[in-house]
Amino acid sequence: METKILKKPHDDYDWPEYTKIYAKQTAEMMSENNEFLIKNSFLDGDTIIFKDALNDNWKELYKQVITLGVNNVFECGCGPGYHLHNIRTLKPSVQVFGGELLQTQLDFGRNTLGIPEDLYNNTELVDLSIPLASCLFNNKYEFVYTQAVTMHLNHEKAIEFIRNMANISSKYVFLMENWGNHDYPNLLQESGVLNVFESEMIKGEYQTYMLLTK
């Protein structure tokens, strides 16, 4: 029997229009009392005590950063930057960095969500779906992650995006995505990252995620 491999033909969004759509989604989430920024959650040793109404995917991401004990993280497609803000709120010794395609997303974080301005000293505008975009970076980061980004990109862009993530990682690549949107095992194979990283699908306390380890 022929195996059918999903090669996602199009991005899910027209990205220059994305922040408008996102602003609407965010307002809906806020009206349902979902929270974006950590206010009351805290770290007790290596355990996060969650006291804010956060999305489960986000909790799993923050848990992983704390469990692995990394010193720095880089979020690819960081949007408004609330994960970076939340990670440094939970554990201020973790240095946080991010790359994002759209200035409007970063502006949304500072102007609408009220994320402190200094966070944006560590974010940069970059298209991570361009081949070898990783050459623009002078540093490597211990934990390079995405949350809901590659799942929205077409097949070719997703491959380049993951390659760039792998190139700027010194230790881990973490993917929190919708696993039905691509044939991820095939995508990783095609990207060549499995020549350097071991990949593992992990069923966490809240969600299933993929961890690549060098």
Question: Per CB under 6 A, does 134 bind ligand SAM?
Answer: no
Question: Per CB under 6 A, does 101 bind ligand SAM?
Answer: yes
Main-chain phi, psi angles of 19, to 5 degrees: -65, -30
Query: Least distance to ligand SAM from the beta carbon of 118, Å?
Result: 19
Give Rg (Cα) of the chain. Answer: 17
Judged by beta carbon, residue 17 or residue 46, the one nearer ligand SAM is 17
Query: Least distance to ligand SAM from the beta carbon of 150, Å?
Result: 9
Judged by beta carbon, residue 19 or residue 72, the one nearer ligand SAM is 19
Nearest to 36 by CA among 58, 17, 15, 18: 58
Q: Among residues 52, 124, 127, 156, which is the contact residue for ligand SAM, using CB under 6 A?
A: 127
Question: Per CB under 6 A, does 164 bind ligand SAM?
Answer: no
Judged by beta carbon, residue 48 or residue 54, the one nearer ligand SAM is 54
36, 26 contact by CB (below 8 A): yes
Q: Among residues 64, 72, 89, 105, which is the contact residue for ligand SAM, using CB under 6 A?
A: 105
Give strand pairing partners of 79. none
Contact segment (CB under 6 A) with ligand SAM among 42-50, 88-96, 101-109, 183-191 equals: 101-109
Question: Per CB under 6 A, does 98 bind ligand SAM?
Answer: no
Judged by beta carbon, residue 116 or residue 131, the one nearer ligand SAM is 131
Tokens 């010193």 belong to residue? 71
**Could you please report the per-residue DSSP string of 151-199?**
GGS-HHHHHHHHHHHHHTEEEEEEEE--TTSS-HHHHHHHHTGGGT-EE
Q: What SS3 state is found at 32?
A: coil
207, 57 contact by CB (below 8 A): yes
Instruction: By CB under 6 A, name the binding residues for ligand SAM.
Output: 15, 18, 77-79, 83, 99-102, 105, 127-129, 147-149, 152
